[in-house]
Amino acid sequence: MAATFAQPHAHGRLFSTSPLPKPTKNLRSPFTVRMSLQETGPSIAVVGVTGAVGQEFLSVLSDRDFPYRSIKMLASKRSAGKQMTFEDRNYTVEELTADSFDGVDIALFSAGGSISKQFGPAAVEKGAIVVDNSSAFRMVDGVPLVIPEVNPQAMRGIKVGMGKGALIANPNCSTIICLMAATPLHQRAKVLRMVVSTYQAASGAGAAAMEELELQTRKVLEGKPPTCNIFSQQSDLDVKVTATCIRVPVMRAHAESVNLQFEKPLDEDTAREILKNAPGVVVIDDRASNHFPTPLEVSNKDDVAVGRIRQDLSQEGNHGLDIFVCGDQIRKGAALNAVQIAEMLL
Amino acid sequence: MAATFAQPHAHGRLFSTSPLPKPTKNLRSPFTVRMSLQETGPSIAVVGVTGAVGQEFLSVLSDRDFPYRSIKMLASKRSAGKQMTFEDRNYTVEELTADSFDGVDIALFSAGGSISKQFGPAAVEKGAIVVDNSSAFRMVDGVPLVIPEVNPQAMRGIKVGMGKGALIANPNCSTIICLMAATPLHQRAKVLRMVVSTYQAASGAGAAAMEELELQTRKVLEGKPPTCNIFSQQSDLDVKVTATCIRVPVMRAHAESVNLQFEKPLDEDTAREILKNAPGVVVIDDRASNHFPTPLEVSNKDDVAVGRIRQDLSQEGNHGLDIFVCGDQIRKGAALNAVQIAEMLL
């Protein structure tokens, strides 16, 4: 999962909105017994179920009591046959094939771009609505790129039961986390330009990368040279906003330093109030006690945290702000956003 | 050592220059036997000799064959009496007092701002030239704030043997590292505005902080809660440039994402050439093999590494660039810069 940033045409689509209700806090007890076993919800498939985001799809479905009639656990041939328990039921991981999507209403994909390209259209042909967490369809015209708090209208008319499949793309994790904070400010004062520097967690490169970070850390502490299979250097950039994407040795939450230039003046107190009322956003901005957002504090949380909200005095007339944003890369950056999209399909 | 950024009036002083010769690479064998034991150089005092920067002062003095007649190893009462070996001589750490500077020509201070404020003027009164690594005198009018590659002329006239003491301030580590790369570009195209986001190493908070990072990492890997004496959160900001300073779990090299706005157009190829020829700077910018500067690669190195040199397309007419800079915080960010200043005093 590369750290691509908001692309030119994506930008326009993402920046617009009607706010959603504030989500309830999740308690992170994913494998508890459900209140009632629904037999009426959609049939779901999770593609890449053994991966970091795949596992988080299940956690979020459980946390949010997402109704489903059945779940197919799909992965590569290598993982096929593995046994899993989810919400007190046993599952066997099945190998992903073109036939996997017979009777599937919603398919949550997070198995990399090439798998999405190979099997996404096949799933749509079988009538499934695919919510894809890869970059495969993010820049494809006609595929909505959706953050539910930002542009729910982009997927208007796409519903389970409409009799045909569809593709919906989950934006890049850094983009989601950044826009959760930038969009409410944009609605008030119109963002003209953004300078973004990311502090991206290992999780953005998958479960194996998280394991590698832990392993490398152990080796370094033992005074041994670390093995580097996944992380050499990581880099990416884009041009609509100007962005520098940096991987840091942090497990699963991204942070971003965002400099905003607005068309209209916006003072930092107003910005703070706007962000306090923004759905899916919490403000942590306590200078007196030096308490600001950190990756650790947002790990396993749904909300994106914003703080260090400061007037950028290098821009005149209150036309600039600096903010610091942290969000769980696997949760709001990937699985939660996809499941929120799936909820809108019902 | 807080992460203060280039202050308004410091900015003007730092941005100007005559280039220095490219320093030779250090081999990092600090405690080897000197070629010849000079008996003619200045009398030196190292204040805060048991700290991370204090130890690095000694390494750099040795690496660069800095001539000295004698060295006083000064620290707090707590460390007084400790035995040290440096360049085959044994030393006893002495308690820092107002009388410590009798006969001292050059005093290298890195023991925190309050110690500098308390003992710096006393040392000057005794005739010593103080090169101070704390923030104590950085904003004081008449105290040169010097990066030798950037503004050597700021300390013109201050020499050992001139018969009186003086104060010279070492800029903040993040400022030094940033300006090593930004200044050569500024000389060509004049920087109007900078947006800086730092990725600061533990070393910036001292030797105890480096130990704490290691200890915390061990505890987390053992599944135990880490103890947090030094690191809670760390933050700082400034307004001439707009800067967001972030501490990351990295041992001793800082990184900085820098967005530059120029008065004159400057294309990225020209910028790359300028930086390749800049003293104390190496360019690591190999997109084909995805090789860019990393904190690890510059650790224990003298040069500041610059890469990811990209036209900022959010600014029109080649008036913007993004760069990514890494530098050893303890070395060029502190001890090396101070010793380079000391070399200019001879």
Is A8 a member of any domain?
no
Report residue B163: phi and psi, to 5°.
90, 0
Q: Which residue has the higher pLDDT, B224 or B139?
A: B139
Instruction: Encode B248-262 in three state secondary structure.
Output: CCCCCEEEEEEEEEE
Give a yes or no: residue A288 inside a domain: yes
Q: B311 and B271 share a domain?
A: yes
pLDDT at residue B197 tops 80: yes
Lowest mean pLDDT among A109-118, A249-258, B79-88, B146-155: A249-258
Cα distances (Å, whole numbers) of residue A270 to A22, A244, B1, B187 = 20, 28, 33, 39
Total domains in the fold of chain B: 2
Residue B205, phi then psi, degrees to nearest 5: -100, 10
Q: Are residues B167 and B239 in the same domain?
A: no
More confident residue, B35 or A264: A264
A228 is annotated as an active-site residue = no
The lowest-confidence range among A134-138, B21-25, B231-235, B240-244 is B231-235
CB-based contact, A320 to chain B, within 8 Å: yes
Residue A164 and residue A183 share a domain: no
Angle B197-B199-B204 from CA coordinates, rounded to 5°:
120
Query: What does DSSP assign to residue A334?
Result: I
Domain identity same for B25 and B90: yes
Whether residues A110 and A255 share a domain: the answer is no
Spatial separation of the C-alpha atoms in residues B203 and A41, rounded to whole Å? 54
Tokens of A294: 């950190």
Residue A179 in tokens: 């826009």
Does B14 fall in a domain? no
Which residue has 């996944």 as its token pair? Answer: A230
Structure confidence at residue B277 (pLDDT): 94
Which chain A residue's Cα is nearest to B294? A233
Whether A235 and chain B come into contact, CB under 8 Å, resolves to yes
Domain assignment of residue B228, yes or no: yes
**Alpha-carbon gap: A346 to the closest alpha carbon of chain B (Å):** 39
State whether B181 and B151 are in the same domain: no
- Which H or E element spans position A61? helix A52-63
Question: Do B321 and B304 reside in the same domain of the chain?
Answer: yes
The average confidence (pLDDT) of chain B is 82
Segment B144-148 shows an average pLDDT of 92
> Closest chain B residue to A216 measured between Cα atoms?
B221
Q: Are residues A25 and A148 in the same domain?
A: yes
Among B42-51, B119-128, B155-164, the least confident range: B155-164
Enumerate the residues of chain A whose CB falls inside 8 A of the CB of residue B313: 239-240, 242
Residue A104 neighbours by CB under 8 Å, 6+ apart: A43, A44, A45, A72, A123, A126, A127, A128
**Domain range for residue B209?**
175-329
Same domain, A166 and A180: no
In a domain, A26, yes or no: yes
Select from A221, A233, A255 the Cβ nearest to the Cβ of B291: A233
Any CB–CB contact under 8 A between A244 and chain B? Answer: yes
- Are B187 and B218 contained in the same domain? yes
* Of B195, B291, B320, Cβ closest to residue A259: B195
Which of B219, B236, B257 to mutate to probe the A interface, most A CBs <10 Å?
A: B257
The two three-digit tokens of residue B88, written as one number: 């085959």
Give the H or E element holding residue B243. strand B242-247
List per-residue pLDDT tens for chain A, 346 residues long: 333 323 323 333 333 333 344 344 444 444 434 433 346 799 999 999 999 999 999 999 999 999 999 999 999 999 999 999 999 999 999 999 989 999 999 999 999 999 999 999 999 999 999 999 999 999 898 999 999 998 898 999 999 988 899 999 999 888 899 889 888 888 888 888 889 888 887 777 777 777 777 777 677 667 766 554 443 322 523 323 678 888 887 778 889 999 999 889 999 999 999 999 999 999 999 989 989 999 889 999 999 999 999 999 888 889 999 999 999 989 999 999 999 999 999 9
Q: Is B173 a catalytic residue?
A: yes
The residues in A 191-210 lying below 8 A from B, measured between CB atoms, are 193-195, 197, 199
Q: Confirm if B247 and B1 have CB atoms less than 8 A apart.
A: no
Query: What is the ipTM for the molecules in this complex?
Result: 0.74
Per CB-CB distance under 8 Å, the chain A contacts of B255 are 246
Which residues of B fall within a CB distance of 8 Å from A290? 232-233, 235
| B214 and B158 in a common domain | no
Please indicate, yes or no, if residue A43 is contained in any of the structural domains. yes
- In a domain, residue A259? The reply is yes
Distance from CA of A314 to the nearest CA of B (A): 6
Q: How many CB atoms lie within 10 A of CB B273?
A: 13
CA dist., res. B177 & res. B254, Å (int): 8
User: What are the φ/ψ torsions at residue A236 (nearest 5 degrees)?
Assistant: -170, 160
List B173, B178, B245, B326, catalytic entry: B173
- Per the domain annotation, does B15 fall within a domain? no
Among B residues 109-168, those touching chain A with beta carbons less than 8 Å apart = none
CATH no. for residue B103? 3.40.50.720
Active-site entry in A173, A178, A245, A326: A173
Same domain, B301 and B324: yes
Per-residue tokens: A314: 């290098």
Res A226: pLDDT: 57
Does B235 score more than 90 pLDDT? no
CATH of the domain at A251: 3.30.360.10
> Is B237 a residue whose pLDDT tops 50?
no
